[in-house]
Amino acid sequence: MAGESASEAARRMREKAERLSRAAAHYDKGAEGERATAAALAALPADSWTVFHDLRWPGRRFANVDHVVVGPPGVFVIDSKNWSGRIDVQYDALRLNGRRREPAVNGVAEAALAVAGLTRAVPPTQVFPVLCFAREEPVTGWTRDVMLCSLSNVVQMLTTRPAVLDEASRRMTCLELDAALRSATAPEPRRPVNARPRRAATPAARRTKKSSGLARLLAVVVGVAVALAVLVVPASKILGEFVQQIAASEADADQPEPRRDLDRRSVLGRWSGDYTCGGNVAAGRLVIQPVEGSPSKVRAVFGFGPSAEDAALAEGSYRLTGTYRDGVLTLRPGKWIERPPGYTAIGFEAAVAAEDPDVLTGRIPECAGFELTRERGKG
């Protein structure tokens, strides 16, 4: 039918525009929550409390930390959440309208660990993760080690905790965090468009370099042995034995590594679940298939999109290749299948949980850890 292709293209463009609009609305809502939390934290006594806002997550390129507060009771790493609905804790698990929200808890806990590594003036036990909800009704309590509060009581909950830092320690902590976080937020140098990554050395090249180094060392040792043989016979004998050991190790280095047939069946199939990245909770799905003719190679497709918590996130998917060796799945990013604007494909490592073969655990660089569950009954 005439115009059918153009109509289909227009439909896809409208759907993407709608997804982008929802994503923009989601970010606007998150920004409103951060501004509201910053306004609430402004009520802290300025002479004994220091507040940092909108910081780069240490060690990650795209994630950020909403607020870091330093006061007499310690250091508080605060993640603002502009959620709608009923918030409570059941069986030590955070829930929104009855549904678990563990990724948010895990995300702020990992952010607190990252910040704790930036200062030596405060032990990690005095760095507290906090979830602050942008609402006026009080929210109080803890879920594991994460403090829960809202705009109406965040200042009260922070200031009523027992003091653990003297003024000198507090000032030193602020200086350390300011220096470290300024470094973390500095823009990374841009890479020239035509720059090519250095080619990784192949096993053969590595063996050649290793052999060359050993050969040079062997020549030096032999020269020393000859010189000393004229003066001290026992030393010549000892060096001669050492030379033989080096030669033997060089011969071993030239031998190819024995090939191990590793079982990939434990990771093959379809996996799905939610994960946290950049402060957002996305739904992820990973499909892993074997590469014929190799006992350890795999190929995969990773898809992501909106979750029940963040319904406005963009959708996308890309291919990966990798290996399964010694119980560890390593995947490297490949070509995009559907790429949302501004997204970068990244690889990750994972392993089947020891206590449950239907759970795949791992970590995506610059994001939080994840757990994906096997989809039973699907190839």
Q: What is the pLDDT of residues 159-188, one digit of tens each?
A: 999 998 888 888 888 888 887 766 444 444
Residue 313 near residue 337, CB atoms below 8 Å: no
Residue 46 pLDDT greater than 70, yes or no: yes
Strand partners, 361: 351, 371
Per-residue DSSP letters for 257-271? PPP-----TTT-EEE
Return the CATH class of domain 269-374: mainly beta
Q: What local confidence, expressed as pLDDT, does residue 154 receive?
A: 92
| Predicted pLDDT of residue 256 | 43
State mean pLDDT over 280-289.
87
Q: 334-363 pLDDT, tens per residue?
A: 889 888 888 888 888 888 876 678 888 887
DSSP state of 125: G
What is the C-alpha separation between 88 and 150, in angstroms, rounded? 12
In this prediction, residue 38 has a pLDDT band, given cuts at 50, 70 and 90, of very high
Amino acid identity at 91: Y
The model's pLDDT over 96-121, given as tens digits with 9 standing for 90+, comes to: 888 888 888 888 888 888 888 888 88
Q: What mean pLDDT is predicted for residues 208-229?
A: 52
Helical (H) or strand (E) element with 223: helix 203-231
Strand order in the sheet with 99-100: 87-90, 93-96, 99-100
Band (pLDDT 50/70/90 cuts) for residue 82 is confident
Span 294-320, average pLDDT: 87
- pLDDT > 50? residue 254: no
- SS3 for 282? strand
Mean pLDDT computed over 25-52? 83
Residue 189 has pLDDT above 70, yes or no: no
Question: Could you give phi then psi for residue 348, rounded to 5 degrees?
Answer: -165, 170
- Domain locations in the chain as residue ranges: 22-185, 204-253, 269-374
